[in-house]
Amino acid sequence: MPAVIFTIQLPDGATKQCYSPSTVVRHYFVTGEEMSVTEFLTRSHEALAAASERVRARSGLTCSSASLQMAEIERWMSAVPGHSTVRIISM
């Protein structure tokens, strides 16, 4: 199953690379798109859960990498106000 690395720009200007074990993440994010931290967290949860489910459907096991990526995203956003802006730099 093809994985996707997508790059985001945090509200402070820092960039981070994120991993999805499935291309399904492309249904949730588009290069150049901007959204609030709150919206980004919601879509990230949905996208990475869907990606993990695709892995489970194929291999019988959920993807721990998707869960770890979501935990990392939550850590990055923990001190950022929900109305701040996140940008999708690349997919």
The predicted structure's pLDDT at residue 10: 96
pLDDT of 15: 97
Which pLDDT score is estimated for 38? 96
List the domain boundaries for the chain: 4-90
Return d(Cα 24, Cα 54) in angstroms, integer. 8
Handedness of CA 75, 9, 50, 65 (dihedral sign): negative
What count of other Cβ atoms lies within 10 Å of the Cβ of residue 44? 23
- Rounded CA gap, 60 and 62, in Å? 7
Strand partners, 20: 4
Residues of the chain with pLDDT under 70: 1
Q: Taking the complete model, does pTM exceed 0.85, yes or no?
A: yes
pLDDT reported for residue 62: 77
Task: Give the three-state DSSP class for 52.
Answer: helix
Kindly give, in sequence order, each residue whose CB lies less than 8 Å from that of residue 56, ignoring residues fewer than 6 positions away. Answer: 62, 63
C-alpha span between 1 and 88 (Å, rounded): 22
What pLDDT score was predicted for residue 1?
62
